[in-house]
Structure 1
Amino acid sequence: MDAPAPTSAVHVDENLDEHVYNSVHRLRADAWSSLEEATRRLATLPRASGARADLDARVEELLDLLGPIESCWASPGRAALDELRSLHRTGERRKLMERTEELGRAGSGGAPETVDGQDPDPRPVFEVLLVDEVTPDEERSLRARLRELRRRDDEFAYELVVVDSFEDAVIASLVNVRLQAVVIGRRFADRSRHDLRMLRRFFDGTADDGGETNSFGHRVQRLGARLAAIRPELDLYLLADGSVEALAGFVDRRFARVFHTRDGLLELHLSILEGVGRRFRAPFFAALEAHSRRPTGVFHALPISRGSSVAGSPWLPEMTRFYGMNTFLAETSATSGGLDSLLDPTGPLREAQELAAQTFGAQQTYFVTNGTSTANKIVVQALVRPGDIVLVDRNCHKSHHYGLVLAGAHVVYLDSYPLDAYGMYGAVPVEEIKRKLLEFRKAGTLHRVRMLMLTNCTFDGVVYHPARVMEECLALHPDLAFLWDEAWFAFARFHPVYRPRTAMAAAGTLRERFRDPAYRARCAEQRRELGQEPDDDTLLTTRLLPDPDRARVRVYATQSTHKTLTSLRQGSMIHVHDQDFHRRAAETFREAYMTHTSTSPSYQILASLDLGRRQAALEGFGLVRKQVEQGGLLRDAVEDHPLLSRYLHFLTTPELIPARYRSSGVEQPLRAGQAAMARAWEEDEFVLDPTRATLSIGATGIDGDTFKHEHLMNRHGVQINKSTRNTLLFMTNIGTTRSTVAYLIETLVRLVRGLEDDADARGPREQAAHRRRVAELTSASVPLPDFSAFHPAFRPGDDGRGGATPEGDMRAAFYLAYDDAACEYLSAGEAAAALAAGRELVSATFVTPYPPGFPVLVPGQVVSAEVLAYMAALDTREIHGYHPDQGYRVFTEEAIRAHEGVAARAATPV
């Protein structure tokens, strides 16, 4: 991740002298824009102008600035800068201006650059990094030989970027988003021979070579490992002389192939094209596209197929006009004739899912066409049997709660740390999870705890450390399965800083760690230090290491591809890294998948998932890098604006993550520089996603719901994710542009100026009311309620002697509520009076305010005074499960007593 705030400014344009660049990509783009402006002014300046010397110096300064950056790229690249320097020094000002504009478009991803005066290549063009010490003549010869190998029918074309050191290679992989392959050559230095001070400031510590060694094989391995950690999608090749046969047996699986320098160039060229072609394949989309072109006779379902029911209709002309005929040509009920069945894929759909698994680092991947809500239910039903205990974050998506009801799980709700000042929760601390596991161990029922379910990252951008969570849990319960809801985190796989905090990457890390002899030694040492029977307090405060011989890595992740990557609405994926999958879960997973998946899935959604996977595999790194950059731009634009910053403030890491969960000690990871930020993301229990920006709006005197709907969405068409009483959540995505950010800032400025105009018109009474409203919104409201407890009638772990475990049979409560006679409605006032009189109220339904979107009550939960106080203080317009004209739906006292009797009889041994 580019450092969100380096320590010193880089001056690009005289109008930007005070700006601190936080991205080398922004710096590059703005430097080219500034160079275009400088050369344009120079070309139109009279020869006698006294400003000419200053502009000449400006052009040289910008060329020098771009030099180390363009060394990482083939286009425009170093040769293009040399050409511009030559034109500048020979005084060809008009040609300099024109050529700068051409090259600037190529560098910004616009029109492709011409090569040797030829027309731009219409095929997709990517870049290949060669790491080798070659002379200029050798480099020119190599480029020429590779161009000679091109064929007219090649699907792609590529250009070469040549660097000669470990450091240059790592920096190029971080800078150049067009790279698709790396070829490591015969010799390369450890440190760069170029002046990289400017680039090192963005990537401090990242490009260190990791130590000296004279062994070519070890240096290649080390560089390959570093590049694979940064960009795992890159194809790695080794080009060497000497005994390549021996090298082929030495290098690890990160390298696709090894070639000899004298006779391997053609095979290298073909391998590069084949490697990119493999990722470019979209087998199911191709099959669907081919099907749409075939003449067919439909004697099956789906009248809309081929547009038959709409093409000639005088009453539906807008369907064809709006959607286009391709939509209908691709609609079919067929699962053969080149297509495939989602429920039993054997052809292109199966291949598409296998490609997705490779792209996302999973062992298996399954496409889901009705959203992550269904994906969550599939995983729960596949792994959880009735009566199994499941630990789950109470603030998770509602699909988890309903999935647990359907599965008949006994539920233990985990409390996240609260952020009362902003009306939101953070995430569940690992200590809270361990405490619950230890309760079950003490009760002798730990073996019944089947699964832990957490949301990563949370709605508000709090990111877990999945490897740490799973490691510590497996130390206490080696057979625990994990479901990570990554509905909003699918993009994270494609950025080197985010990737380790994804479920699939963490699962792979644990598998490798458990095989490492050094880890085994540390684990054995910890067992000796802890002794045979460590007390619970010691276990809670110790970073536990699981026994690698007992721990099983069983990890599932559900992702809404449509939310953060490219897919049609409801396109989701399930990723599996379960080392026991085929032995213990494959059949039950298949049945669960059959249960929840439609037999008539949308082929359009499936094809979009296939294409979205292709895009992520080929350009995910560049798109996510841009997404992160836009998040930084948005924060800076508000915080640096003299007017906006008086009313609006983006919440920082210390405001959203308490210090006790940030062991790195980095107060502001988003502004601390690359090395400090990387340390925080590696060490801290929780970190903050830079693409989520929570805006505190209390100082405006407008509540979040009103600000979101009336001011942003209705008046200006600005869509945002969620709000609380005094915050708004803005999210950047892979489609966010600088123009989009600029429009938001323009909108916010207009709104704030309107507030100031309103303030001028207020009388004393209105001013006092406004001040009271601001005071309410900028101070903590009623505390967020923790989960109270399940009523004993719905607690199968309650032994009646104070030895209860906290799980609840939510399914029993859910279906008991189907009997209207077992329920009654109490108004808020009646509920409060009943509690004051000593009655235990038990919720018969889910009660979920939007926002924040988590249930404050679930079926079978005891209604607490804290919940009632929280509900009374809410100013949200939408509350699911609560009817203002009727009140809370609760069980009658008679129904609770009757159910207690039934439960007692069921628990009595025969």
Structure 2
Amino acid sequence: MKTHANDSKLGSIRDYYSATQLRSDRWSALREAAEGLHRHGVDGRQGKKLIATAEALFEALEPIERYWAFPGAHAFDHLRRLLHAGNIEDLSIAVRRVARALTSGAYRRRSIPLGADEVDSEDFEDESSLSPEARSLGRPYFEVLIVDDVNEHQDRFLRHSLMRMRRPEDPFIYEPVVVPSLEDALIGILFNYNVQAVVVRPGLTLKSRNELPILSQYLNHFREDEEVDAIEPHEYGPEACRLIAKIRPELDAYLITDRSAEDIAGLDLGRCRRVFYNQEDFLELHLNILRGVNRRYKTPFFTALKEYSRQPTGVFHAMPISRGKSISRSHWIQDMGAFYGPNIFLAETSATSGGLDSLLEPRGPIKEAQDMAARAFGSKHTFFATNGTSTCNKIVVQSLVRPGDIVLVDRDCHKSHHYGMVLAGANVVYMDSYPLHEYSMYGAVPVREIKHHLLKLKAAGKLDRVRMVLLTNCTFDGLVYNVQRVMEECLAIKKDLIFLWDEAWFGFARFSPTYRQRTAMGVANTLRETLRLPETAETWERQQAELEGADEETMLNTRLVPPPDARVRAYSTQSTHKTLTSLRQGSMIHVNDQDFKGEVEQAFHEAYMTHTSTSPNYQIIASLDVGRRQVELEGFEFVQRQVESAMAIRRAIMTHPLLKKYFRVLTAGDMIPDGYRESGMESYYDPAQGWTDKWSVWNQDEFVLDPTRITLAVGGTGWDGDTFKTKILMDKYGIQINKTSRNTVLFMTNIGTTRSSVAYLIEVLVEIANELDDLLDDASKMERRSFENRVAALIEHVPPLPDFSRFHDAFRAGKDTPEGDIREAFFLAYDEDNCDYLDLDETLIERLEKGDELVSASFIIPYPPGFPILVPGQVISPEIMTFMRALDVSEIHGFRPDLGLRVFTPDALAGVIKKLKGEE
């Protein structure tokens, strides 16, 4: 692409993380150039400069626009001809309408006239200001990608033939866009988020003629995994369908072929919805496209709840608020009715009939909604929860773990897992994550650590008792496991091991091809396929021969291969409300367990009954149903924009000279040690080199960093993370965040993050930096020294993070392996006579350093960091107490400052040991 002098103010292509951002900004710039030409004319230096700018922008947009139905290639060529003809007034009007429609999404709701003699309603009323009610009246819009190498005349014929089939009663409206090749189809579905269906015709070719680097990067991902160049011409159609399903499994594909049914029947067509044999039945194709989209658009429970709310009923059951009667009859709470509106009360009931369903025994619309969620998230079974993921975690643990089972647990996982271990009576092996001392946070558990514990338990003859591995993916700070590697290597040691992946913060990951490969359900489905392959058995047998008699160190240093008869048993719990659209506490449990039906189902339902309310909130269930609809139809678009927003924040902070003085974005190099980054990638963005393609990194590294989370080191401001969060961001600027550490704050983008929100955050950070500059400019020598001391305390003098010490012998069955009976310790503390309290002072540290064995009687959970630094039955180490004393936080759950640290008395511990030895 040509560059021009003014291109610097737009930023070069290297500055853009995605072609979507580039497209948006280039259209805005083209509007400015066209309006400038309209004001100043085409003559003179200014006019010539603007013409050159417009030409450059048309050149930049031309290869991009061929993948979109609006404004479409033909309309785009028309605009370009207006520039060449000097028809600047018409150009200005048309470009303004296109740019505005792209920004507001108006093209999704109505036809946008581009002629100057045509009236556009948005010239008088801003469509973006329409109410949600007004927007909901229109028919949802999408685009259909037709893959066929045709000339311009045939292109028009295809598009117009399909558009003529549209009828007023159709529930949706769509526009077709035609691309010539298989590679263009892959670019199109990755770039154009409006595409909901792909029609693959016999005339497609293989290679794309589009050479724009920012678009070709979309193809590079799959050239690494797929031998695209080796595809034979007769395979183009079927392979296109298969690759579409691999990249975006939610899309509908339709294959039009001239091959025989016998040839097609044995091929992998992905999720091809229908095959048409050499016919031009556009009406049938049209009806299938609408039916396919409607299959995802359906919301069984939300629809049933809306229908129920419209029925006239007499309420003679519990819940006075049902139908809003207790509010409408009140003289004192009318403001509640005004605030929420009538529908939420009309849809409130305790009934499970009348078209509704029971969450505890679903057979109607809730069951259908859960089945549709299973399809959307790639699971075999999905269950809704209205009590949050804390409850989901306890349900899964209770259904899978029996008293005495050994469970390997990520020590800094969410506290609900620790309590779940207590309820289930598990013997817990706590695994340590690698520490990030400098930032007062933990990373994730290396696969070597997991294998070490499994091999140690195997050597001790306890592998048969090992039931499950429990890990958090991704972690709160954004560290993502190589899920396939973890599962494969663990199954190589114990072939029926169960995995519980806490994906509370990772529900959105299913809807991005890059993320999907590191999700529990995505990997479970991949393993189901790969374990059946003959080469898997051959590779396993060869490795078994090589490792015969190998010691533990050799096993730890080898990438282990699972046996072909390994069982795929994966569970994930997701906080839908945290990362997708759902009311608070809306969560899901996803199951992909080959032994679920035969071994787990009954226990699972009992656990579900144990922890699920008999009065679940119907509004939460409905929001889960609608949230599933959204991600199946626009999850790809929203996740793409979410990542783009986060990348924009990274680039803005890393390139702003003032922000760099006080803030630093932590990169993958900061948060993931070298040994876990096989790719060697240090950062997603480098001011000198531009963007790093994250696909290859996500393919190979043991850990990767979720780009939607930006950990900002704020120690350079002199404020600790909690103060910066509360006193500065929240109280002063109204910016809300969840997590901090001693010297960092975490900014999380989500599917609702806008570019305006990103701009506001950057403005706030710049204002904070300017105020610090002013403060230091006027500071006295002593004030400056005080500031430097505070910074040093936050950056240089950070207390080291302690490892898990061990369970006391009273709660262990032996000393050869580390598992501990956390339930015994938890309930032992119920008797106050078994406990004592110790002051958290130097005397306590001295006692520990001298070798006194003190044992925690409680969970001790400081916020931040928000995970237990002590659990019941754990021996207290001097390192843990030093860390705890150094914490400057307002909340430490389980610790009472007025009494001190709760520990077991020596007599209580002695009594348990006697019981273990059978002396009582």
CA pair 210-338 structure 1, distance change in 2 beyond 3 A: same
Alignment partner, residue 134 of structure 2: none
Alignment partner, residue 114 of structure 1: 111
The structural deviation recorded for 1:133 is 1.4
Alignment partner, residue 682 of structure 2: 667
Partner of residue 415 from structure 1, selected from 432, 436, 440: 432
The count of corresponding residues between Structure 1 and Structure 2 is 894
Q: Distance in 2 between matches of 1:197 and 1:401?
A: 49
CA contact (8 A) 2:246 2:270 kept: no
Q: Which amino acid aligns with 1:114?
A: S
Q: Distance in 1 between matches of 2:301 and 2:652?
A: 43
Larger deviation, residues 262-271 vs 304-313: 262-271
Alignment partner, residue 82 of structure 2: 87
The structural deviation recorded for 1:210 is 2.4
Alignment partner, residue 851 of structure 1: 864
Q: Which amino acid aligns with 1:786?
A: D
Alignment partner, residue 664 of structure 2: 649
CA pair 69-827 structure 1, distance change in 2 beyond 3 A: same
CA contact (8 A) 1:217 1:247 kept: no
CA pair 8-821 structure 1, distance change in 2 beyond 3 A: farther
Matched, 1:70 2:65: yes
TM-score, normalised via structure 1 length? 0.95
Larger deviation, residues 73-82 vs 577-586: 73-82
Q: Which runs of 5+ in 2 are unaligned?
A: 122-136
Partner of residue 883 from structure 1, selected from 878, 891, 896: 896
The Cα offsets for residues 121-166 of structure 1, whole Å up to 9 and x where unpaired, read as 9311101111111222222122222122112111011111111112
Alignment partner, residue 698 of structure 1: 715
CA pair 661-46 structure 1, distance change in 2 beyond 3 A: closer
CA contact (8 A) 1:415 1:787 kept: yes
CA contact (8 A) 2:709 2:746 kept: yes
Q: What pairs up with 1:22-421 in 2 under 5 angstroms?
A: 22-46=17-41, 48-108=43-103, 110-112=105-107, 114=111, 122-201=138-217, 203-204=219-220, 206=222, 210-212=227-229, 215-244=232-261, 246-421=263-438
CA pair 201-387 structure 1, distance change in 2 beyond 3 A: closer
Alignment partner, residue 131 of structure 2: none
Root-mean-square deviation (CA, aligned residues, Å) is 2.1
CA pair 887-214 structure 1, distance change in 2 beyond 3 A: closer
The structural deviation recorded for 1:839 is 2.3
Alignment partner, residue 860 of structure 1: 873
Larger deviation, residues 292-301 vs 671-680: 671-680
Q: Distance in 1 between matches of 2:439 and 2:331?
A: 54
Larger deviation, residues 456-465 vs 38-47: 38-47
The Cα offsets for residues 487-543 of structure 1, whole Å up to 9 and x where unpaired, read as 000011111111100000011111111011222222221112112x22111111100
Larger deviation, residues 123-132 vs 571-580: 123-132
The Cα offsets for residues 677-732 of structure 1, whole Å up to 9 and x where unpaired, read as 21211111000000111101111111111111000111111011211111111111
Indicate the SS of the match to 1:723.
coil
CA pair 447-313 structure 1, distance change in 2 beyond 3 A: same
Q: Distance in 1 between matches of 2:76 and 2:52?
A: 15
Q: Which amino acid aligns with 1:834?
A: R
CA contact (8 A) 2:15 2:691 kept: no
Q: What pairs up with 1:1-40 in 2 under 5 angstroms?
A: 13-17=7-11, 20-40=15-35
The structural deviation recorded for 1:222 is 2.6
Alignment partner, residue 913 of structure 2: 900
Q: What pairs up with 1:748-763 in 2 under 5 angstroms?
A: 748-763=765-780
Larger deviation, residues 507-516 vs 203-212: 203-212
Q: Which amino acid aligns with 1:54?
A: K
Indicate the SS of the match to 2:572.
strand
Q: Distance in 2 between matches of 1:673 and 1:617?
A: 32
Alignment partner, residue 613 of structure 2: 598
Q: Distance in 2 between matches of 1:247 and 1:585?
A: 38
The Cα offsets for residues 409-431 of structure 1, whole Å up to 9 and x where unpaired, read as 11110000000000000000000
The structural deviation recorded for 1:804 is 2.3
Matched, 1:442 2:437: no
Larger deviation, residues 253-262 vs 673-682: 673-682
CA contact (8 A) 2:4 2:53 kept: no
CA pair 812-12 structure 1, distance change in 2 beyond 3 A: farther
Alignment partner, residue 631 of structure 2: 616
CA contact (8 A) 2:210 2:216 kept: no
Q: Which amino acid aligns with 1:122?
A: G
CA contact (8 A) 2:521 2:590 kept: yes
TM-score, normalised via structure 2 length? 0.94
The structural deviation recorded for 1:669 is 4.5
Matched, 1:821 2:821: no
CA contact (8 A) 1:204 1:675 kept: no
Q: Which amino acid aligns with 2:883?
A: Y
Larger deviation, residues 894-903 vs 761-770: 761-770
Partner of residue 583 from structure 2, selected from 556, 563, 568: 568
The Cα offsets for residues 294-334 of structure 1, whole Å up to 9 and x where unpaired, read as 00111111110000111121110111011111010000001
CA contact (8 A) 2:202 2:237 kept: no
Q: Which amino acid aligns with 2:887?
A: L
Indicate the SS of the match to 1:433.
helix
Matched, 1:767 2:784: yes
Indicate the SS of the match to 1:841.
coil
Indicate the SS of the match to 1:505.
helix
CA contact (8 A) 2:668 2:681 kept: no
The structural deviation recorded for 1:50 is 3.6
Q: What pairs up with 1:733-744 in 2 under 5 angstroms?
A: 733-744=750-761
Q: Which amino acid aligns with 1:838?
A: G
Q: Which amino acid aligns with 1:720?
A: I
The Cα offsets for residues 88-141 of structure 1, whole Å up to 9 and x where unpaired, read as 222221111111111123333521162788999931110111111122222212
Partner of residue 805 from structure 1, selected from 810, 817, 824: 817
Q: Which amino acid aligns with 2:89?
A: R
CA pair 675-837 structure 1, distance change in 2 beyond 3 A: closer
CA contact (8 A) 1:203 1:675 kept: no
Alignment partner, residue 4 of structure 1: none
Q: Distance in 1 between matches of 2:831 and 2:205?
A: 76
CA pair 855-163 structure 1, distance change in 2 beyond 3 A: same
Indicate the SS of the match to 2:139.
coil
Alignment partner, residue 3 of structure 1: none
Q: Which amino acid aligns with 2:627?
A: G
Q: Which amino acid aligns with 2:628?
A: R
The structural deviation recorded for 1:439 is 1.1
CA pair 398-8 structure 1, distance change in 2 beyond 3 A: farther
Q: Which amino acid aligns with 1:64?
A: E
CA pair 170-597 structure 1, distance change in 2 beyond 3 A: same
Q: Distance in 2 between matches of 1:10 and 1:245?
A: 56
Indicate the SS of the match to 2:745.
strand
Q: Distance in 2 between matches of 1:267 and 1:246?
A: 23
The structural deviation recorded for 1:237 is 1.0
Indicate the SS of the match to 1:104.
helix
The structural deviation recorded for 1:78 is 1.0
Q: Distance in 1 between matches of 2:683 and 2:596?
A: 41
Q: Which runs of 5+ in 1 are unaligned?
A: 1-6
Q: Which amino acid aligns with 1:282?
A: T
Q: Distance in 1 between matches of 2:496 and 2:512?
A: 30
Q: Distance in 1 between matches of 2:797 and 2:894?
A: 26
Q: Distance in 2 between matches of 1:136 and 1:458?
A: 51
The structural deviation recorded for 1:832 is 2.2
Q: Distance in 2 between matches of 1:47 and 1:601?
A: 67
Q: Distance in 2 between matches of 1:30 and 1:263?
A: 39
Indicate the SS of the match to 1:548.
coil
